């Protein structure tokens, strides 16, 4: 794509933004912060990976919605990286939007503090019984997320599953990070739906939950059910949520504030390509290895690989 074409398009976008004044209610400093990213692109003659990821008008007016309330359930042994990636997206979205676009609370089974897999203890704001009462009140969440998974036969799993099912009955979006996706599957929320699973857990997950369309993608969104592979994939997924609820300018600004080089799309691969991991490899060998990796649950025969 010629640099001149990119520059002309960005200049036109900026001029359109000034005419529409979509951020008239935001202080000038915030306006400059949002416009500065596109201006820097013109100065450097480049195109941001984040802007390229979103094809819609990057300067459409931000909807002045009420704050989106998010309830995040924490299971013992949850992944702290996924939780911090998610909550910081909400925090940065509020900063970028210059308003309370998101509010959140952490939930555990008994309301107790929960220890992450790395040993850090995180306090909970509410217990699950209280959170279920919120479903009938103004404090009800718009989104319920699960971080981590509870033991299969424990009381925690039964109560968690009941909460997730009630959320769906009340048209509340749900989601899971990493092993939290298994909690959604055990509640029957993922039957005949797509979900993203960490590549290491994918074969076992497919064998256990045969009705679920699981894939080793970064994240999936299917009928208001948000799932991701965990880790930094939670950041990518929730930036998409910010874009849907606050508009693209805020989402782009979140990526800039987080110093994210790029935001991945949901259907991207989780792992580095083999060529980047090991240097030069025969392309045919690379294709065969990737084919075998995609079929670990049902290994291919030599005849299949040779076909």
Angstrom distance (rounded) from CA 104 to CA 82: 15
Query: Do residues 137 and 121 lie in contact, with contact meaning Cβ atoms separated by under 8 Å?
Result: no
Domain tally, the chain: 3
Q: Determine the Cα angle at 258 with ends 26 and 251, to 5°.
A: 50
Same structural domain, 77 and 139:
yes
Q: What is the pLDDT of residues 188-204, one digit of tens each?
A: 999 999 999 998 899 99
Same structural domain, 206 and 144:
yes
Same structural domain, 209 and 242:
yes
Angstrom distance (rounded) from CA 167 to CA 190: 14
Q: What confidence score (pLDDT) does residue 11 get? A: 38
Select from 239, 246, 204, 203 the least CA-distant residue to 218: 239
Indicate the length of the chain as a whole number.
307
pLDDT band at 34 (very low <50, low <70, confident <90, very high): very low
53 domain-assigned: no
Same structural domain, 149 and 289:
no
Query: Do residues 265 and 218 lie in contact, with contact meaning Cβ atoms separated by under 8 Å?
Result: yes
238 domain-assigned: yes
Q: What confidence score (pLDDT) does residue 241 get? A: 96
Q: Is the pLDDT of residue 300 over 50?
A: yes
Q: What is the pLDDT of residues 224-234, one digit of tens each?
A: 999 999 999 99
143 domain-assigned: yes
55 domain-assigned: no
pTM higher than the cut 0.75:
no
Same structural domain, 192 and 246:
yes
Lowest mean pLDDT among 107-111, 141-145, 259-263: 259-263
Q: Is the pLDDT of residue 63 over 70?
A: no
Q: Is the pLDDT of residue 26 over 70?
A: no
234 domain-assigned: yes
What does the pLDDT average to over 199-216?
93
57 domain-assigned: no
Please provide residue 261's backbone torsions phi and psi, each rounded to the nearest 5 degrees: -60, -35
Select from 208, 142, 210 the least CA-distant residue to 179: 208
Q: What is the CATH number of the domain that holds 246?
A: 3.40.50.880
60 domain-assigned: no
Neighbouring residues of 22: CB distance < 8 A, sequence distance ≥ 6: 59, 60, 61, 62, 247, 249
Select from 153, 219, 144 the least CA-distant residue to 184: 144
Q: What confidence score (pLDDT) does residue 279 get? A: 55
Same structural domain, 20 and 116:
no
Q: Torsion over CA of 54, 56, 58 and 62, rounded to 10 degrees?
A: -110
Same structural domain, 38 and 153:
no
What does the pLDDT average to over 254-281?
70
pLDDT band at 2 (very low <50, low <70, confident <90, very high): very low
Q: What confidence score (pLDDT) does residue 70 get? A: 98
Same structural domain, 16 and 72:
no
Same structural domain, 124 and 169:
yes
The rounded Cα 257 to chain-centroid distance in angstroms is 17
User: What's the domain range around 11?
Assistant: 3-47
Same structural domain, 105 and 234:
yes
Bridge partners of residue 144, in order along the sequence:
71, 174
Same structural domain, 193 and 279:
no
Q: Is 163 helix (H, G, I), strand (E, B) or coil?
A: helix
Please provide residue 114's backbone torsions phi and psi, each rounded to the nearest 5 degrees: -120, 135
152 domain-assigned: yes
Q: Where are the beta strands (DSSP E) in the chain?
A: 68-74, 102-108, 114-115, 121-122, 126-127, 143-147, 173-177, 194-196, 213-215, 219-222, 225-228
Same structural domain, 300 and 182:
no
């Amino acid at each position: 794509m010629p640099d001149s074409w990119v520059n002309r398009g960005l200049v036109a976008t900026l001029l359109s933004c000034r005419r529409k004044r979509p951020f008239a209610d935001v202080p000038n400093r915030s306006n400059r912060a949002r416009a500065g990213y596109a201006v820097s692109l013109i100065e450097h003659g480049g195109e941001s990976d984040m802007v390229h990821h979103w094809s819609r008008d990057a300067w459409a007016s931000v909807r002045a919605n009420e704050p989106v309330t998010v309830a995040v359930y924490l299971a013992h042994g949850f992944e702290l990286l996924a939780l911090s990636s998610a909550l910081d997206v909400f925090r940065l979205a509020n900063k970028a939007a210059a308003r309370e676009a998101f509010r959140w609370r952490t939930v555990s089974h008994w309301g107790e503090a929960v220890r992450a897999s790395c040993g850090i203890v995180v306090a909970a704001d509410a217990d699950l019984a209280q959170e279920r009462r919120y479903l009938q009140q103004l404090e009800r969440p718009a989104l319920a997320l699960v971080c981590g998974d509870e033991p299969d036969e424990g009381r925690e799993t039964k109560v968690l599953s009941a909460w997730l099912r009630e959320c769906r009955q009340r048209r509340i979006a749900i989601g899971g990070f990493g092993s939290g996706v298994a909690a959604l599957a055990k509640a029957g929320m993922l039957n005949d739906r797509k979900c993203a699973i960490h590549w290491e857990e994918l074969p076992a997950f497919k064998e256990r939950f045969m009705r679920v369309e699981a894939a080793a993608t970064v994240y999936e969104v299917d009928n208001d059910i948000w799932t991701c592979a965990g880790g930094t994939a939670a950041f990518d997924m929730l930036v998409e949520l910010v874009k849907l609820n606050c508009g693209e300018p805020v989402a782009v600004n979140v990526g800039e504030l987080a110093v994210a080089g790029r935001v991945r799309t949901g259907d991207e691969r989780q792992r580095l390509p083999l060529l980047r991991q090991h240097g030069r490899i025969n392309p045919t060998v690379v294709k065969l290895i990737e084919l075998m990796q995609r079929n670990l649950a049902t290994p291919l025969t030599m005849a299949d690989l040779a076909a």
